[in-house]
Chain A
């Protein structure tokens, strides 16, 4: 579903992402794990067509990000790290606005918002202004906004960062539910227990390079827990 080949991103001379290769199959959750500044966001932005790769290729749902960015955008729902809602609009209005920007017709948008808000337990907040929502509910609105056009691929950039336990739980459960519905998800995080719980496979990214990829169950069997895999990979790189 997502093929990343030899992907490199340069900011001036600095290599934020350095020749990475990842393949993500349909219906799986792939975890991109790394420390701050590892290159997770930069990678996800390239997959989402926000950034153009400096080198290498990305194919999403059969479309090349360089030649068919519009088709790629239709295939993905991108949730950036920062919630970024319009404070003066209501939850409902924000999602509706993005539905329109995604070329949906209004009736369709209304139906989808109703369904999505129910799934995300947002229904009672639908007509509240975004500035009045809790951090957790804001994140749920941001998720609804990202996927209102029902794309087959989700790209979530640290979706639980800054959330309390309950909100994190809701986001994790929602992510699992989406996977059960057949969505393909590229999920970035620096939380190992979270990745261990929801990811099928992971890639450890450090200083722009992928140090290790693998099936979570197999890695856990081998190392005891994902944290050990991560620490030994990153330490090994440093020494």
Chain B
């Protein structure tokens, strides 16, 4: 699956780690630094802030008498700060856990050997792990991945079909001319059609979201491993509003393309590749970890919508991402509306021979 490759890629990437009291144990810093894909850096802010603003993925806190305690065979407390809603942080967390696990068994082995005891006596069992996460948990996790592109694609296909029907459809049924000679102006005609396309699309989204929250309503705050999905009334409304914007853009795009076409067949010839691109853009979010993306993906229509929805669903709301997404969507919509209405006023395009 696409997602696991993202996970692998984050796994290969280097994550930054800060260690509180790092100066007391050079060997511990070396241990983390030499583990391969973790790098120890300094921070000048509290651990939680440093993680949230992305300076580091995790922060470790070791006691001031770390080396002493190890030597004296005393218990050592280590605190790990991490962000469960961030993929990068979660992955760094599990890497740290691995390194610490190995470190622990090394320490134990050393201690046993110094007493001339075979370390194997401490391993009477070998354990095989089987995932027993319930289906709800997994589906909650899957939902945060699948829902955004799915919703985007539903909006796209619904909007395109309505746009075709209301524009090329009028040409094919030969009803367009009759419409054009009524007292209603062309501007009003295209506005009416545009609103009709947007409304039908929104109805289909509303239906999907209602049935979704009906069936997964009880899972409203699903938790799986460290990932949560927030499908509350509030997030549903935000998602709906973002999709409304996208519906406006798709309606305008569909109408611009479909008004140009002479027949259903021709319109489909244009819109099929268009839909293909939309699907690719929608699933483009799978190749991107929302924790460490720059602003550029949020300038790309559709992709930005799925990313923002994903952010909302994992409660990782980012006002700038939202603003950029809204602006870019509105800009594309406006351009498409201008093109569509230009076509409706341009007889040589509307009545292409």
Contact = CB atoms under 8 A, between A and B. Distances in A.
Contacts of A76: 181
B177 A78 contact: yes
Interface string A41-62: 0000100111110000000000
A44 B338 CA distance: 29
Interface hub of B174, B175, B185 (most chain A Cβ within 10 A): B175
Nearest to A155: B181
B182 A101 contact: yes
A223 interface: no
B174 A82 contact: yes
Given A52-B347, A84-B173, A102 B183 contact: yes
A15 interface: no
A198 B90 CA distance: 86
A74 B184 CA distance: 10
Nearest to B350: A50
Nearest to B185: A70
Contacts of A80: 174, 177-178
B353 A84 contact: no
A86 B178 CA distance: 11
Contacts of B177: 45, 48, 50, 78, 80, 82, 84
A237 interface: no
A84 B178 contact: yes
Nearest to A77: B181
Interface string A66-99: 0000100110101010111111000000000010
Interface in B181-233: 181-185
B261 to A, nearest CB: 17
Interface residues of A, number: 27
Interface residues of B, number: 17
Contact of B181 (A52, A78, A87, A142): A78
B174 A84 contact: yes
Nearest to B184: A101
B295 interface: no
A103 interface: yes
Nearest to B179: A101
A101 B183 CA distance: 6
A145 interface: yes
Contacts of B351: 50-51
A146 B353 CA distance: 24
Contacts of A98: 178, 182
B343 to A, nearest CB: 15
Interface in A27-49: 45, 48-49
Q: Can you list the 7 inter-chain pairs with the closest CB atoms, starting with the nearest?
A: A84-B174, A82-B174, A101-B182, A84-B175, A78-B181, A80-B177, A101-B184
28 contacts: A11-B348, A45-B177, A49-B181, A50-B347, A50-B351, A51-B351, A52-B347, A70-B183, A73-B181, A73-B183, A74-B183, A76-B181, A78-B177, A80-B174, A82-B174, A83-B174, A84-B173, A84-B175, A84-B176, A85-B175, A86-B173, A86-B175, A98-B178, A101-B183, A101-B184, A102-B183, A102-B184, A145-B178
Interface of B: 173-185, 347-348, 351, 353
Interface of A: 11, 45, 48-52, 70, 73-74, 76, 78, 80, 82-87, 98, 101-103, 142, 145-146, 149
